[in-house]
């Protein structure tokens, strides 16, 4: 749980710096600073204070997006890993362990959940206003309409760039082949550039994008975090 929690919250700062540097937000920041300067009687301190308040609001929005996702996951599928994954033959859950001073330490994790195409179509219809991204290729699943959904890909920082994420991704793909799933899909947020690059290396392609998150609609709009769906046909 701590590994997953840290793996989600670490995206807050990249998301914050990304949204802070957006041209629209830079313009708003300059306007707010100027307003503070004028209202404060040519006070640079007042200008800095107003600008800091705007930056604080953007950070709060980014934090709420990832905190909302974390809270939802910890209260649903991760609330009982054994029942939701280990005891369900359609789902899979794996961890990467290393030997540290004679003790095994979990340094990575990934999960795959079996889904039905009809469930995905309903979600995409809601996200994209009735239009599914990716065209007809999105619904080319196995005979029973099932596919795998990858989630909870986390590798602790000191063990990154050591091929662990690639091994976990291969494990997920092998599991989907064994289960007869026609494809593997994964959702990632726009600030997760390293994860997106990893999936692209394995042949995943983006099929849709939306801005619906577990946070309030206006918080999502201010944070400018997009959720991208990628998939790989197996």
DSSP symbol at 153:
E
pLDDT at 118: 63
Q: DSSP per residue over 41-91, as a string?
A: TS-HHHHHHHHHHHHHHHHHHHHHHHHHHHHHHHHTGGGGHIIIIIT-TT-
Model confidence at 139: pLDDT above 50: no
Contacts of 229 (CB under 8 A, 6+ apart): 124, 133, 185, 186, 187, 206, 207, 208, 209
Q: Which of 133, 110, 146 is nearest to 234 (CA)?
A: 146
- Identify the three-state secondary structure at position 5: helix
Model confidence at 101: pLDDT above 70: yes
pLDDT band at 222 (very low <50, low <70, confident <90, very high): very high
Taken in order of first residue, the domains within the chain and their CATH numbers are 1-77 (no CATH), 81-118+144-233 (3.40.630.30)
Model confidence at 136: pLDDT above 70: no
CA distance 23 to 104: 47
pLDDT above 70 as % of the chain: 88
Mean pLDDT of the chain: 87
Which is it for strands 103-116 and 92-100: parallel, antiparallel or unpaired?
antiparallel
Lowest mean pLDDT across 39-48, 137-146, 176-185: 137-146
- Per-position b or e across 37-67, b if 16+ CB within 10 A of its CB: beeeeeeeebbeebbeebbeebbbbbbbbbb
pLDDT at 102: 86
pLDDT band at 179 (very low <50, low <70, confident <90, very high): very high
Model confidence at 119: pLDDT above 60: no
Q: What is the mean pLDDT of residues 175-201?
A: 94
69 contacts 7 by C-beta, under 8 angstroms:
no
Model confidence at 16: pLDDT above 90: yes
């Amino acid at each position: 749980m701590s590994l997953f929690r840290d793996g989600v919250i670490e995206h807050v700062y990249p998301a914050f710096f990304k949204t802070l540097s957006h041209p629209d937000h830079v313009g708003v920041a300059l306007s707010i600073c100027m307003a503070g300067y004028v209202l404060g009687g040519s006070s640079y301190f007042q200008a800095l204070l107003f600008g800091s308040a705007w930056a604080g609001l953007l950070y709060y929005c980014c934090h709420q997006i990832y905190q909302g996702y974390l809270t939802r996951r910890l209260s649903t599928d991760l609330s009982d890993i054994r029942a939701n994954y280990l005891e369900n033959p359609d789902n899979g859950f794996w961890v990467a362990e290393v030997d540290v001073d004679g003790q095994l330490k979990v340094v990575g994790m990934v999960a795959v959940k079996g889904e039905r195409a009809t469930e995905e179509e309903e979600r995409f219809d809601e996200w994209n206003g009735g239009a599914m991204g990716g065209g007809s290729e999105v619904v080319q699943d196995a005979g029973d309409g099932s596919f795998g959904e990858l989630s909870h890909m986390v590798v602790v920082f000191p063990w990154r760039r050591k091929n662990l994420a690639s091994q976990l991704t291969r494990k997920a793909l092998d599991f989907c082949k064994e289960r007869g799933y026609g494809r593997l899909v994964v959702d990632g947020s726009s600030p997760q550039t390293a994860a997106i690059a990893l999936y692209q290396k394995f042949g995943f392609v983006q099929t849709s994008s939306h801005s619906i998150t577990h946070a309030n609609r206006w918080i999502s709009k201010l944070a400018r975090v997009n959720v991208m769906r990628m998939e790989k046909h197996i």
